[in-house]
Amino acid sequence: MVGAKCWTEPYHTNECSLQKPRHSNSRIILLHCRTASNFTSNTEQEAPTLNIKIVFAGAAIPLAIAMLASPAQGDEDWWPLIPKDEFELWTQQGESKAHFTLIDEVVTGQPIGHHPKNAFLCSPREYEDFELRFFFRIEPTSLNSGVQFRSRINSDGIVAGPQLEMDLQSPDEMSFMMRWVAPWLVKLTDEPWRLQLWPAGGVYGEALSTGWIYPGVAGGDSDSFRVAGEQLSRPQDWNELRLLADGDRVSTWLNGELRADYLHPETAGAGLICLQVHGGDYEDPSAVRVQWRDLQIREF
């Protein structure tokens, strides 16, 4: 086996299928495994030729399944998304500015002013096929935030593209109207996709015509997504998000559980990664903060 790499997760599997390479001259084959908890893991095998690779991939399937019971491998492939000495290379975009700091691998974003619009801290280069993982915390939990990926900056400075949602929405901080009445009222409108409670791990089309991508135009059920999101969310605590973007396919996990798994060619391709501080009406902006911890990425 030449140049073989694999990454696995500590979950048991009950279904696997071999995915064809995206390009005819590709030396990459993906072993796509669906677990009992609907977790998706990928094993990447590389060999000198396609024929040899197929032989190795078939032989590697039992080994890959056995490795699913072990902790994730290949941590040496992960790199900090924002190394300390490159923090100043990230630029602010959007209709407003925010206050961003990087201290001990924790990025903190806070709005500036009482009525700001969306602010973004964007990467100095583009990323196409990659896996991103990080922990996040939001105060107050009613605040909306997210991470843009495969995004662009329009001529008017607006950041547009898919956004990995980070909303937690603690039930203790939600009004009766928001939690129980609004979800039903919005279904009676022409745009029922505009409201999604407990959407962490979902993907929204920021400044796109799609609205919600998942659950939304690319699939998924809004009600079941909301129920699972409430169960998985940890208000007032650190939550872990993972994003896998590979060609047309995007998968996300919240605190180890699969949240989204969909195909959407319209938003595939290279683009920027941006951290969002959402606009709003803030009585005390100093009490509002979004935090990202241990932002790590690996490309393939």
Say if CB 131 and CB 244 are below 8 A apart.
Answer: yes
Which domains does the chain show, CATH number per domain?
A: 13-76 (no CATH), 78-299 (2.60.120.560)
- Is the per-residue pLDDT at 260 higher than 90? yes
**Which pTM was predicted?**
0.74
- Is the per-residue pLDDT at 172 higher than 70? no
Q: How many CB atoms lie within 10 A of CB 225?
A: 22
Lowest mean pLDDT segment, chosen from 49-58, 89-98, 138-147: 49-58
What is the chain's mean pLDDT, rounded?
Answer: 77
Per-residue pLDDT, averaged over 127-148, amounts to 94
Residues 176-220: tens digit of each pLDDT = 555 555 555 556 555 544 556 778 999 999 999 999 999 999 999
Q: Give the pLDDT score at 242.
A: 98
Q: Give the pLDDT score at 19.
A: 45
Token readout for 3 is 């140049």
Which of 31-40, 178-187, 285-294 is predicted most confidently? 285-294
